[in-house]
Amino acid sequence: MGKSLKAAVIGTGVISKQHLSFLDSSDHSELVGVCDLSAAAAKYAAETFHAGQAFTDYQAMLAETKPDVVHILTPPNTHQKLVTDCLNAQAHVICEKPITPTYEDFKTLWQLAQEKNLHLIENHNYRFNEAILNIEDMVKDGTLGEVQEVEVRVALGYREAGGRFADRNLPNPVHKLPAGVVHDVITHMAYLLLRFMPEVDRVAAAWSNHGGGDLFKYDDLDAILLNGQQHARLRFTCYTKPECFTLFVRGSRGYAETDLFQPYLRTVIPRAGGEQLSPLINHFVNGWDLMGSSVKNFRNKVMQRTPYEGLHRLLDQTYAAILQNQPMPVSFEDMDKTNRLIETLLAEENRV
Amino acid sequence: MKLLVTGASGFLGKYVVAEAVRQGYAVKAVVRPATDASSLAWANHPAVELVRLDLRQGRGIAEALSNVDCVIHMAAVKGGDFYDRFAGTVLTTENLLGAMTTAAVKKLVATSTFSVYDYFTPPANRVIDEAFPIESEPEYRDAYAQTKLIQEDMMREWGDTNDATVILIRPGMIYGREALWNACHGADFGSKWLLIGPNALIPVTYVENCAEAIVLSVGSAAAAGEVINVVDDNLPTRRQFTKALVKRTENPPQVIPLPWGMMRGVSSLAWFVNQQLLQGKARLPGLLIPASLDARLKPFRYTNAKAKTTLNWTPRYTLETALDRSVSDQCLLSDMLAKAPANPTLEPVAQG
């Protein structure tokens, strides 16, 4: 076993399982502490994922375990204070999305991280999913040509009775964020769009609360973004089925699409058969690939591999980069642009 | 004596509140803030005070416990993923116990479950009583069993630490108007009902019988600190139970009997393949996990001797009468309340 970093986790909610399972199995990390306001939850997480100690006071955990890296997995409205305290305790921070409710808050945290010479990473996990990496490769090697259009579409049943976000008894803290429940996924949507259209010069965003009521601030987003002649669309809805997280990238030579929830990769590009045979070859190749994806998705479902595959890849690269003093897989520029884009989408002057 | 009943609007809870009123207790009935109480016949009864709280957060619980002598804790979550169940069962209990310490309430009657027993290791046809072994490998059991095991541990530890009285009631499969076809007598496959192990006894208790036993435990000196299993008299076989249900169901499913040995063989084979070829990583349905299958359907015998002697309880309704009540148009809660004393007294007026 090579050199490893001491890791600690604050927050043991749903997403913690993905972080903790990585930390439990990685050679790059040693899980020294888990903290939650609930002693029972902290104890359960510590026992299940073999953490050194369970805490209910994160300051005590920072003081006693002196972690190199802290994963902050609590509700977004708590991030500002927790990230600040962890950086002041000389720990690198990996923080769940959205890192802060506003761009200004993010800049404050980034400034502190710079002053402390520490790394601050916002979780951009889907960027590291296999299908997204494949599409990035096709853009880089020119297979798709110049990117002309990008569409990121998310459909989630957040309004469904019994769901976490529809619970009126104990409203989820995400409702208080500037974009309401859309803020739960807007970071993912923004960074994916920016991978393929790095600049945006015009935005028109329609934020709606189609379902009404006072619990949800918004339940729908339809935004058009332009950069010169490049067009992009961000679409979030609670009203279509099945749930999906699709990405379309259309270039001057061809296009690629995937759904991160049921991964497949469909590419319509010039083939070796030339202009006449390419449509036919695309049909057969994509049909074959789709069948392969169906088998793979069934296998992944049985084997409990989830759309969070990119998170383990991101964390692995992050720990390796810290150990080897290499650039982070999610850079300041990535986070800065992402949070700035979210701010732009929410700005009153860009609303329709 | 005043009782605080959690989970008061739940399947069992609403009968427990009615039964507590019938036995002469004053009741603070805890329901979640958004609960529609209009169908709860006791909501406006003079002996009942409706308290709107979500136990997943600690706020307001200690205040609700003022002037309370005993808590009957039934709040739990049976749906959702592990984290929903953990929040709804473990965190609620943790918050309740903390508030009970603050409010110096020293008596707790808690509804646990038969699911905490180890059905995998002991041989079939043993008698399940209160000394039956508890599950020691919960990782192979479903989230419900896992969270209820954690909950029991917490309550015992709280009792020991606070020198308080904890009575653990473990009901078998509770049936009633809202839950007739259940996991302990087979498996639902759309229009088909797989009747697994038709000749085995089914550990059922009718909801009104169970509610009576729970409330009786409050006033029973002999029950203090005890674990008490609750099942009805003259337990039916699965075949008999199913036949009685079919007779009372308008469009019953087609019942397909399947010998226990055959189902267990299929389950063992699936488990063997998973362990040997897939390193145990495949997520199998509960019927194909022997520990889960055994917990639902392995043939055992059952006794309610301790409940009858300790609580001076005799199940009021036979299977036939209970099912007739369940499918009738009668308001069962109103029927229970009609037998209540005009005014609650400080002491119970009835003990069985």
Pair (A153, A44) in one structural domain: no
Same domain, A193 and A175: yes
Interface test with chain B among A36, A49, A160, A170, by most B beta carbons within 10 Å: A170
Q: Is B152 on the interface with A (CB under 8 A)?
A: no
Q: Considering chain B, what is the average pLDDT of its residues? A: 93
B33–chain A Cβ distance below 8 A for any pair: yes
CB distance from B54 to chain A under 8 Å?
A: yes
Confidence of residue B343 (pLDDT cuts 50, 70, 90): low
Instruction: Please give the tally of structural domains in chain B.
Output: 1
Residue A148 sits in the same domain as residue A68: no
Place of tokens 């909950």: B151
Q: Residue A100 belongs to a domain with what CATH number? A: 3.40.50.720
B56/A170 touch (CB, cutoff 8 Å), yes or no: yes
How high is the pLDDT of residue B350? 41
CA–CA dist B31, B36 (Å, integer)? 9
- Contact list, B154 vs chain A (CB under 8 Å): 40
* Nearest alpha-carbon partner for B142 in B210, B86, B194: B86
Residue A242, preceding bond cis, omega within 30 degrees? yes
Kindly give the interhelix angle for A130-140 and A183-196, rounded to the nearest 10 degrees.
Answer: 30
Considering only alpha carbons, which residue of chain B is nearest residue A12?
B83
CB-based burial label for B28 (10 Å; 0-12, 13-18, 19+): buried
For residue B218, how many other CB atoms are within 10 A of its CB? 22
Considering the domain architecture, whether residues A209 and A187 belong to the same structural domain is answered as yes
**Residue B36 forms contact with A (CB below 8 Å):** no
* SS3 at position A7: strand
Q: What is the CATH number of the domain that holds A171?
A: 3.30.360.10
pLDDT of B179 strictly over 70: yes
Q: Residue B113's domain is classified under what CATH number? A: 3.40.50.720
Strands B301-302 and B127-128: parallel
Per-residue pLDDT of B86-120, as tens digits, reads 999 999 999 999 999 999 999 999 999 999 999 99
Residue B259 falls inside a structural domain: no
- A13, B83: Cβ pair inside 8 Å? yes
Decide if B69 touches A, using CB distance below 8 A: no
- For residue B81, the model assigns a pLDDT of 86
* B54 occurs within a structural domain: yes
Q: pLDDT tier at B229 (50, 70, 90 boundaries)?
A: very high
- A249 shares a domain with A153: yes
A 241-260 residues with CB below 8 A of B? none
Q: Domain for residue A205, yes or no?
A: yes
The whole-angstrom distance between A168's CA and the closest CA on chain B is 6
Between CA A161 and CA A171 the distance in angstroms is: 13
Query: Quick one: average pLDDT of B217-222?
Result: 96
Residues of chain B neighbouring A302 (CB-CB closer than 8 A) = 278, 282-284
Q: Which residue shows structure tokens 């943790």?
A: B94
Q: How far, in Å, CA of A269 to CA of A149, rounded? A: 15
Q: Report if residue B238 sits inside a domain.
A: no
Task: Tell me which residue range forms the domain holding B7.
Answer: 2-177+203-232+300-338
Q: Given CB atoms, is A37 within the 8 Å cutoff of chain B?
A: no
What's the confidence (pLDDT) of residue A299?
Answer: 87
Nearest Cα of chain A lies from the Cα of B69 at a distance, in angstroms, of: 26
**Contact (CB<8Å) A40/B91:** yes
Q: Are residues A159 and A222 in the same domain?
A: yes
Grouping H, G, I as helix, E, B as strand and the rest as coil, residue A153 is strand
Do A205 and A346 belong to one domain? Answer: yes
- Vertex B92 angle, CA B37 and A72, to 5°: 125
pLDDT tens digits, B145-171? 999 999 999 999 999 999 999 999 999
The pLDDT-based confidence of B344 (bands split at 50, 70, 90) is low
Establish if A280 belongs to a structural domain.
no
The encoded tokens of residue A35 equal 């903290």
Is residue A293 situated within a structural domain? no
* Residue A105 is assigned to a structural domain of this protein: yes
Give Cα separations from A307 to A128, A243, A351 (angstroms).
10, 13, 32
Q: Does residue B141 sit in helix, strand or coil?
A: coil
Q: Based on the fold, state whether residues A207 and A345 are members of the same structural domain.
A: yes
CA distance A48 to chain B (A): 10
Rounded CA separation A69/A125 (Å)? 17
Q: Is the ipTM of this complex over 0.90?
A: no
Nearest residue on chain A to B56, alpha-carbon basis: A170
A94's enclosing H/E stretch is strand A92-95
Local structure of A91: helix, strand or coil = coil
The band of B349, judged by pLDDT with boundaries at 50, 70 and 90, is: very low
Residue A102 forms part of a structural domain: yes
A6 touches chain B (CB under 8 A): no
Low-confidence ranges of chain A (pLDDT < 70): 1-2
| One domain, residues A155 and A197 | yes
Strand partners, B155: none
- Counted across chains A and B, CB pairs separated by less than 8 A come out at 47
Order of strands across the sheet that contains A69-72 = A53-55, A29-35, A5-10, A69-72, A92-95, A120-122
Domain annotation covers residue A221: yes
B86/A contact by beta carbon, under 8 A: yes
Do the beta carbons of residue B17 and residue B214 sit within 8 Å? no
Q: Would you call B33 and A39 a contact, using CB atoms and an 8 Å cutoff? A: no
| Phi and psi angles of residue B109, each rounded to the nearest 5 degrees, phi first | -105, 115
- Residue linked to tokens 């995937």: A258
Q: Which of A44, A162, A170 sits opposite B79 (nearest CB)?
A: A162
**Domain final residue, candidates A92, A122, A152:** A122
> For the residues B57-70, what does the mean pLDDT come to?
96
CB contact under 8 A, B283 and A302: yes
Structural domain boundaries, residue A218: 127-263+341-350
At A210, list the tokens. Answer: 């189609």
Q: Which two tokens stand for residue B22?
A: 């019938």
Residue B37 falls within a domain, yes or no?
Answer: yes
| Single residue among A100, A122, A144 that ends a domain in this structure | A122
* Residue B237, both tokens: 């076989």
Residue of B35, B94, B282 with shortest CB distance to A39: B94
Q: What pLDDT sits at residue A2?
A: 60
In-domain check, residue A22: yes
Give the pLDDT of residue B345. 55
Q: Is residue A269 situated within a structural domain? A: no
Position B185 scores a pLDDT of 80
- Looking at the structure of chain A, the number of domains it has is 2
Among A81, A99, A122, the domain boundary falls at: A122
Contact B150 A40 (CB under 8 A): yes
Q: Which of A12, A18, A24, A38 to mutate to test the interface with B (most CBs of B within 10 A)?
A: A38
| Cβ pair A44:B150 closer than 8 A | yes
Q: Does A46 touch chain B (CB under 8 A)?
A: no
